[in-house]
């Protein structure tokens, strides 16, 4: 399975790591550094999956998720929160805002891509 991935992640080092891991497995990656840029890219690129950091500058990740779900072409696009927010209630808040799943940071580089692929596959069936 080859995926077209949009990641909306503000931290440059995290973007680099995620891109490296995903491209190493044959996925195509585009990236945005904040919510507004991510929303614009999502509208024009029609990704197979969106990886969304929750703690973003200018626009909170929960608000980005809600905005993305208002775009008809993205209603069923898998969206995964990738975040260090890990206190009780954070996962539920991410899901309530429109994310389909949640991966806590720090990620495990050995299992991250397989986890993303598994989530996308589950949502497609």
pLDDT per residue as tens digits for the range 99-116: 999 999 999 999 999 999
pTM assigned to the model: 0.96
Domains of the chain in sequence order: 4-112 (3.40.50.2300)
pLDDT per residue as tens digits for the range 40-71: 999 999 999 999 999 999 999 999 999 999 99
| pLDDT number for residue 52 | 98
Task: Give the pLDDT band of residue 77 (cuts 50, 70, 90).
Answer: very high
CA dihedral 111, 107, 92, 28 (to 10 degrees): -70
| pLDDT number for residue 89 | 83
């Amino acid at each position: 399975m080859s995926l077209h991935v949009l990641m909306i992640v503000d931290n440059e080092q995290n973007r680099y790591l995620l891109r490296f891991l995903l491209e190493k497995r044959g996925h195509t990656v585009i990236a945005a550094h904040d919510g507004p840029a991510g929303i614009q890219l999502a509208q024009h690129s029609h990704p197979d999956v969106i990886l969304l950091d929750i703690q973003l500058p200018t626009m909170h990740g929960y608000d980005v998720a809600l905005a993305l779900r208002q775009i008809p072409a993205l209603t069923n696009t898998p969206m995964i929160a990738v975040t260090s927010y890990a206190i009780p209630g954070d996962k539920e808040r991410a899901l309530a805002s429109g994310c389909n799943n949640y991966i806590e940071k720090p990620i495990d580089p050995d299992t991250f891509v397989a986890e993303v692929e598994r989530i996308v596959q589950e949502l497609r069936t």
